[in-house]
Amino acid sequence: MKIVFMGTPRAAVPSLERLAADGHEVVAVYTQPDRPAGRGQKLTTSPVKDAALGFGIPVVQPEKIRTAEALSEFESFNAESAVVVAYGRILPEAFLHAFPRGCINVHFSLLPKYRGAAPVNWAIVNGENVTGVTTMQMDAGLDTGDILLQQETSIAPGETAIELMDRLAILGADALATTLNGLDAIIPTKQDDSQASLAPILKKEDGRFDWSDAAVVIERRVRGFQPFPTTYTSFHNKKLTLWKTEIADLQIDSVVPGTVLQAKADDLVIACGEGALRILEIQTEGRRRMSTRDFLNGAKLDEGDLFE
């Protein structure tokens, strides 16, 4: 099939690679413009652009897509379909109808659950045990198009959003391949809007938490809010980011949330509103990510101290 591919992050690369491996003619790749990144603000290309250049596919990086010129360029590729995987922009309706088979999207949730920009993160934060991928015929709504195919997978205990996204990226590429191979035989299924939930874009402030939350809630946030916005609190007026935690098997009675229960060797356990949290990897503002032992070796922290 003659295809225009649209995607930006690492999670979209397996789908592009699968299209090439399956012999589809990818005539162009659309991705976000190069952006400054890192401490040096060096101009950085997207993972999808790097992959496309490796395949020798022309790359298009429009700053604006809601113009007549952008639509004309898009139509000029005369593709049968566009495949969209985490492109990062809402397509104008004219783009959705530019090609005979429209636009097919790979979405990283079991729609209609978790429509929006961050379905993997919110699935973990909300304590889901199962998630998956959906291929969808795109329409003008926010992830509201007809479902073509779905594949599900369990969320493993302790799995972070980064780890789950890596798995779903491969699962999504497989689902896309199956969808395109059987496209003529697939009967699209309308979504049940009454079962819909949203996965809004993540903001920096989503990462701040309160020790009065239950330990299980904080532990999910630590796993779900990676790599952004992370899960953080304050210690001695400095930002303290939690990278790896687990629920502590302790009986907690009448302890103020945020109280240090254990602070020795590899054990740093903090009382929560319900239960307690054991911190395994941590990062103080301005320093590297480190183990609890390394943190305690340098921190003045004793049992009974109170986190902010």
According to DSSP, the β-strands at 130-137 and 35-37 are unpaired
Each residue of 230-244: pLDDT tens digit? 999 988 888 999 999
At residue 301, the pLDDT reads 86
Contacts of 130 (CB under 8 A, 6+ apart): 110, 152, 153, 154, 155
CATH topology of domain 2-195: Rossmann fold (3.40.50)
- Phi/psi of residue 208, nearest 5 degrees: -75, 135
Give which of 245, 244, 232 is closest to 285, Cα–Cα. Answer: 232
Q: Is the dihedral of CA 17, 19, 22, 26 positive or negative?
A: negative
At residue 170, the pLDDT reads 98
Residue 253 CB-density burial (10 A; 0-12 exposed, 13-18 middle, 19+ buried):
exposed
At residue 236, the pLDDT reads 80
State pTM to two decimals. Answer: 0.95
- Phi/psi of residue 23, nearest 5 degrees: 85, 10
At residue 35, the pLDDT reads 87
Q: Is the dihedral of CA 289, 292, 297, 299 positive or negative?
A: positive
At residue 38, the pLDDT reads 73
At residue 298, the pLDDT reads 85
For residue 80, which amino acid is it? E
At residue 37, the pLDDT reads 78
Q: Are 142 and 115 in contact (CB under 8 A)?
A: yes
Each residue of 274-303: pLDDT tens digit? 999 999 999 998 899 999 999 999 888 889
Residue 2's Cα: distance from chain center in Å?
Answer: 28
At residue 76, the pLDDT reads 98
- Phi/psi of residue 162, nearest 5 degrees: -65, -45
Does residue 222 sit in helix, strand or coil? helix
At residue 259, the pLDDT reads 94
For the chain, count helices (H), then strands (E).
8, 15
Region(s) of the chain under CATH 3.40.50.170: 2-195
Residues (pLDDT < 70) of the chain are: none
Q: In the CATH hierarchy, which top-level class contains the domain 204-298?
A: alpha beta
Helix, strand, coil content of the chain in percent (nearest 5): 30, 30, 40
Q: Are 123 and 102 in contact (CB under 8 A)?
A: no
At residue 92, the pLDDT reads 96
Average pLDDT for the chain: 95
Q: Are 95 and 60 in contact (CB under 8 A)?
A: no
